[in-house]
Amino acid sequence: MRLAVCPGSFDPITLGHIDIISRASKLFDKVIVLVAVNAAKKPSFSPEERISMINKALSEIGADNVVVDVSDGLIADYVKNVGAVAIVKGLRAVTDFEYEFQMALINRSLYHDAETLFLTTSTEHMFLSSSAVKQVASFGGDISGFVPPCILEDIEKRLNATAE
């Protein structure tokens, strides 16, 4: 079985993330969406909330070969432990590539048996990031075109509450 890991903070998951995950699910037998917990970041949603939102969003796209997990360790260690052959990352722009290329080289040096696969996001999602979603929502802006409809209300409640 060809297993891939699609790591990210997913704080919150966006339609851009869903695009990359959906496309990866067609390339691999199984994809693990990995909520990577980074102690240096101050997330808006707990890991459990992010997992719940991702599962809701995935149930709507019917990706039966995708599961969600969480880790607070090195991605390379996680990939090795689950026996994955690839790390899937989405790219929006050249600036994403510079950072992700560096991470790919680090992961490759830590675990030689996994490749990093870059998927370019669909044109309609090129501008989209979790940070942008949080910023727009915190000012009461419309994020309905940025996140899966099934989690829109959850995101708005949390992010609008932080602005008050």
Whether 142 is in a domain gets the answer no
Residue 43, classified by CB atoms within 10 Å of its CB into exposed (0-12), middle (13-18) or buried (19+), is middle
Whether 14 is in a domain gets the answer yes
The CATH number covering residue 29 comes to: 3.40.50.620
Whether 8 is in a domain gets the answer yes
Whether 138 is in a domain gets the answer no
Does the annotation count 92 as an active-site position? yes
Whether 27 is in a domain gets the answer yes
Does the annotation count 112 as an active-site position? no
Give the whole-number percent of the chain exceeding pLDDT 70. 98
Domain housing 36: 3-126
Indicate which residue of 9, 17, 25, 125 is catalytic: 17
Whether 68 is in a domain gets the answer yes
Indicate which residue of 56, 80, 92, 108 is catalytic: 92
Whether 46 is in a domain gets the answer yes
Whether 160 is in a domain gets the answer no
Indicate which residue of 41, 59, 112, 157 is catalytic: 41
Does the annotation count 122 as an active-site position? no
Collect contacts of 92-101 with beta carbons under 8 A, ≥24 apart.
92/16, 92/120, 92/121, 92/125, 92/126, 92/127, 92/128, 92/129, 93/126
Indicate which residue of 9, 50, 130, 134 is catalytic: 130
Number of independent structural domains in the chain = 1
pLDDT single digits (tens) 111-131: 999 899 999 999 898 888 999
pLDDT single digits (tens) 63-101: 899 999 999 999 999 999 999 999 999 998 777 898 999
